[in-house]
Amino acid sequence: MLISSLLVFTALSVSNVFAGQVPIVDGVLGGVPTGASVPGETTREALTIAATTPGKLRVTENSGICETTPGVYQASGYGDLTSTKSIWFWFFAARKNPSTAPVALWFNGGPGSSSMIGLFQEHGPCRINNDTKTVSLNPYSWNNEVNMLYIDQPVGVGFSHGDLDVGTSQAAAADVWSFLQIFFKDSRFSKYQPNDLAIWTESYGGHYGPTFAAHILKQNAAIAAGSVSGLKLNLEVLGIGNGLTDPLSQYPGYIEYAASNPYHALVSSSVINTATNAWSSSSGCKAKITTCYNGGSNSVCSSAQSYCNNYILSPLAGNYDVYYVPTRNPDPYPPAISTYLASIRTAAGAEASYVESNSKVYSNFAATGDWMRNSRPDLETVINAGVRTLIFDGDADYIVNYVGVEAMVDALNTQFTATYKQQPWSTYTVEGQAAGQYKNAGTFSYMRVYGAGHEVPAYKYGKLAYGQAASQMFLQTMSKKPLTST
């Protein structure tokens, strides 16, 4: 998520908001920390670690945590990129036909957020209970028919540990590729390497997803050309929920959504007017993002993030929960996961204390201005390559709202764009219950999900259960089919 929740940032000023995912830096949502510097000299977390095995996995198998369905395999542990960089993963085999099922990677965003959020709050084999100390089996888990691989990245996030030297989405993509090469070379998981591969992500995943997917396609091509050695990965699907991809297209959405959304206005008309001026003035947010896009330096793009979030993103939020606007701050849902993860850390094989949101990782990205760089060209590359792509958004989310996301989708320039724009909206139903609206065009689909906040699979709507609509949407896309009502 655009930095994830509930652990206090040690280096940032953070409000005490339940399930808050964007850091509040000196009172500004998504602000730029003073003194943030681009990663250069290696910064290592203070941690005494076990002996690493560079280029290999260290695994705890069948711990009995979370997935309690009889006979379903799970494994958690580390992929050691180097002697000082270890990425944490948690793998759950599909409950049905795992040997032939596709593999879906899950990444939360931030930048700096743990993918354990998706596992335990959204769509894993179990979900955290309201007591924040126990979990319950999830009947709509995404591993019902898909092998799920949750990855904590960059290093320093979640249970991952080591050198904190990543500050761009492209650098993160290189580490993820290295991890996947280690993972699929391991004898326990090599059998899955030929299977279809998918990337699913959310929030800052609007940057991660396109960048990671484009990097995999590029590496595959280099392997085929003989210029790179490694295992080709059979990337077939990309799914992005509530994603920040193209800030220039998306930031006006904050103004429109704050004024008019399916629930209520978030702020007064005077605040709207002030933000509108901040967007359109000659030295305002639009101009600053445009300069960033046109070859802007790290400092130029970082300055754009600071300005736009100070004068647009942050003030337009009002006093409502920015991840689920029907409620005021603080909203205790989804329940916190840190207490539970501390209780199972040793049994799962984790070496580091759990860090749900790493302030140093966030600062690294803020210093490079990665937030304000445009990931839409990579998304267009992936769509044009024939990768089945789903963009989706919960209509109750402000922080990456559907107004901005739909503007980004409309701005896409792909082989399916003309067809997409001609499509009427269709109602998406699950067992006859309206759950959203959608469009399909070629191998591209978009869906706006009713009643869902920032973490779409964590919510329910109408007569549906928690995560039921998201599960149907996920499985249809994993089957490489257009969205279809049931």
Catalytic residues: 203, 397, 454
Reported for 384-387, long-range contacts at CB under 8 A and 24+ positions apart, including other chains, are 384/414, 384/415, 385/217, 386/443, 387/213, 387/217, 387/235, 387/236, 387/237, 387/238, 387/443
Per-residue CA distances from 339 to 46, 278, 397 (Å)? 21, 41, 26
β-pairing, 74-82 with 126-128? unpaired
Q: Which two tokens stand for residue 22?
A: 């964007």
Contact criterion met (CB below 8 Å) for 275 and 422: no
Q: Which two tokens stand for residue 244?
A: 């920040």
- Locate tokens 């705890």: which residue? 60
Nearest 5 degrees, angle CA 201-CA 218-CA 146? 40
Contact criterion met (CB below 8 Å) for 84 and 162: yes
Closest of 62, 139, 145, 143 to residue 96, by C-alpha: 145
Closest of 114, 115, 113 to residue 123, by C-alpha: 115
3-state secondary structure of 236: strand
List beta partners, residue 357: 113
Q: Where are the alpha helices (DSSP H) in 349-459?
A: 359-368, 376-384, 402-411, 417-422
3-state secondary structure of 66: coil
241 Cβ neighbours under 8 A, 6+ residues apart? 200, 201, 202, 203, 205, 392, 393, 394, 455, 456
Q: Which two tokens stand for residue 397?
A: 């989310």
List beta partners, residue 87: 79
346 Cβ neighbours under 8 A, 6+ residues apart? none
Q: What is the DSSP string of 82-110?
A: ETTEEEEEEEE--SS-TTTS-EEEEE--T
* Residue 187 phi, psi (nearest 5): -60, -25
List beta partners, residue 137: 126
Residues counted in the chain: 486
Using the 8-state DSSP alphabet, how is residue 230 labeled? S
